[in-house]
């Protein structure tokens, strides 16, 4: 699970480990990859990938997220 800018640049990688099938919950603290700076208000993208055991991408979904504080 990754948070991206609208241009596709990585803001933060939240989950980079295998997860089982079904619903999952992930909480983002609104900070960047270094966990030092809170991101600015604005539009971002969320990318979720389903990976095969060989590391290949089986499916990818991209959604929209708006940060507003």
Q: What is the mean pLDDT of residues 29-47?
A: 93
Q: What pLDDT is stored for residue 18 in this prediction? A: 79
> What's the first-to-final CA gap in the chain, in angstroms?
22
Q: What is the pLDDT of residues 9-33, one digit of tens each?
A: 999 999 888 788 888 899 999 999 9
Q: How far apart are alpha carbons 58 and 69 in whole angstroms?
A: 35
Q: Over the range 41-56, which residues count as b (16 or more CB within 10 Å of their CB) and which as e?
A: eeebbbeeeeeeeeee
For residue 44, pLDDT over 90 is answered with yes
């Amino acid at each position: 699970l990754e948070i991206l800018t609208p241009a596709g640049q990585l803001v933060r990688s939240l989950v980079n480990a295998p997860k089982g099938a079904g619903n999952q919950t992930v909480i983002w603290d609104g900070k960047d990859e270094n966990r030092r700076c809170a991101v600015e208000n604005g539009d971002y993208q969320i990318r979720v990938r389903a990976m095969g055991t060989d590391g290949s991408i089986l499916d990818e979904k991209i959604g929209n997220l708006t940060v507003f504080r």
